[in-house]
């Protein structure tokens, strides 16, 4: 992996760069759609390429459970398995320690959990997480971490931070694949001293990139921005910074302003499958009765396949008739919208006027 900065904004910490992996060039800041089960729901790999997607995120935990990393490895890794020849990032399973807390037991050794697929008992450790991701063959892999809910007690956050650091060290010790870049994940809930200690200690270990985890878990925009403001500057300027699981446009804009380079979230596709489209005039719900006879596109300023071929009335009809095409069309438009949003953000950073761009973008009703 190679990363270089091309420009920084004049009035903020926003930055524009290039991230190169063995599967291509990624212009940053970048938004990565989520393909949990080796698929971005309702969209093909060719559609993602058409939308301009340069990288996406897959879920090591879920792919370990089904179909299993050995099957994926025998297909040439995720790239061959899902017919995607651009960059793939895999998370380690740490988020599932949080999201599936009712099914697991966490110790310093690792996590014992009950499979949500067949109920069998599984054990996930830093070494196991690294082995799974090695078999999946992603370009960028994540160290195993512990993600906490919000709110949590400071003592619990500190304990988790030390566990995350210990797990990160173990991941680094067994990292052997030079074709995969290993990122560490900064944890610590919303406690500044804990976050700062975690960041500083991980930076000392010398990872190839750094992520901020444990955010967008209920703490709200204001607290998340506080964490970004004091944590991002602690991360190496010459390495990529990744804000995990954050995907509403306003949160992405804030993250960019604080110097974040990479984002991922299910927001555009999850909203799309529910008939919600992100547009230049704000978010709309195409299921609304007022679109029943609307002959216009989802977004008058968008040139994507959906907007150049289909009306709001037609798309609304597809949802009313439970036709799968409706889910695909709105999801595709939303991915295109997010890619165009990031393109404009990058351009504004290169021109040194990101602050003005952000202000104008967020002034749009609904964004």
264 is catalytic: yes
User: Tokens 């719900």 label which residue?
Assistant: 285
- Sheet containing 24-28: give its strands across: 2-8, 15-21, 24-28
Chain centroid to Cα 26, Å, comes to 14
- Residue 43, both tokens: 């969209």
Q: Label residues 139-149 b or e (16+ Cβ within 10 Å = b).
A: bbbbbbbbbbe
Cα(308)–Cα(38) distance, rounded to whole angstroms? 28
* Nearest in space to 299 (alpha carbons), one of 322, 321, 273, 332: 332
Please tell me whether residue 113 adopts helix, strand or coil conformation: strand
User: Tokens 């995969």 label which residue?
Assistant: 180
91 is catalytic: yes
Annotated catalytic residue within 9, 91, 145, 299: 91
- Residue 254, both tokens: 């804030």
Name residues whose C-beta falls within 8 Å of residue 115's C-beta, 6 or more positions apart in sequence. 65, 103, 121, 122
Annotated catalytic residue within 9, 254, 261, 264: 264
Widest CA span of the chain, in angstroms?
A: 61
Active-site positions? 91, 264
């Amino acid at each position: 992996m190679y990363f270089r900065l091309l420009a920084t904004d004049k009035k903020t910490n926003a930055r524009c760069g290039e991230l190169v992996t063995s599967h291509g060039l990624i212009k940053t800041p970048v938004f990565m759609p989520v393909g949990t089960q080796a698929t971005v729901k309702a969209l093909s790999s060719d559609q993602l390429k058409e939308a301009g997607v340069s990288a996406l995120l897959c879920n090591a935990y879920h792919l370990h459970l089904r179909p299993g990393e050995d099957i994926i490895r025998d297909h040439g890794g995720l790239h061959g398995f899902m017919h995607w020849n651009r960059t793939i990032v895999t998370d380690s399973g740490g988020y599932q320690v949080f999201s599936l807390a009712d099914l697991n037991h966490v110790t310093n050794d690792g996590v014992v959990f009950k499979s949500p697929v067949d109920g069998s008992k599984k054990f996930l450790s830093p070494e196991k997480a690294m082995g799974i991701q090695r078999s999946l063959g992603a370009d960028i892999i994540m160290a195993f971490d512990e993600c906490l809910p919000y709110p949590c007690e400071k003592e619990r956050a500190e304990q988790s931070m030390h566990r995350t650091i210990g797990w990160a060290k173990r991941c680094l010790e067994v990292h052997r694949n030079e074709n995969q870049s290993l990122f560490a994940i900064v944890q610590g809930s919303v406690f500044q001293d804990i976050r700062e200690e975690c960041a500083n200690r991980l930076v000392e270990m010398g990872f190839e990139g750094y992520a901020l985890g444990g955010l967008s878990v209920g703490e709200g925009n204001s607290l998340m921005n506080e964490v970004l403001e004091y944590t991002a500057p602690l991360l190496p300027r010459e390495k990529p910074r990744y804000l995990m699981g954050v995907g509403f446009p306003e949160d992405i804009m804030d993250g960019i302003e604080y110097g974040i380079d990479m984002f991922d979230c299910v927001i555009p596709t999850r909203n799309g499958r529910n008939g919600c489209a992100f547009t230049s005039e704000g978010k709309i719900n195409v299921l609304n009765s007022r679109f029943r006879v609307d002959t216009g596109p989802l977004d008058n300023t968008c040139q994507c396949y959906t907007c150049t071929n289909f009306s709001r009335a037609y798309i609304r009809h597809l949802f009313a008739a439970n036709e799968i095409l409706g889910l695909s069309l709105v999801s595709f438009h939303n991915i295109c919208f997010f890619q165009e949003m990031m393109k404009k953000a990058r351009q504004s950073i290169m021109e040194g006027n990101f602050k003005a761009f952000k202000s104008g973008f967020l002034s749009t009703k609904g964004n």
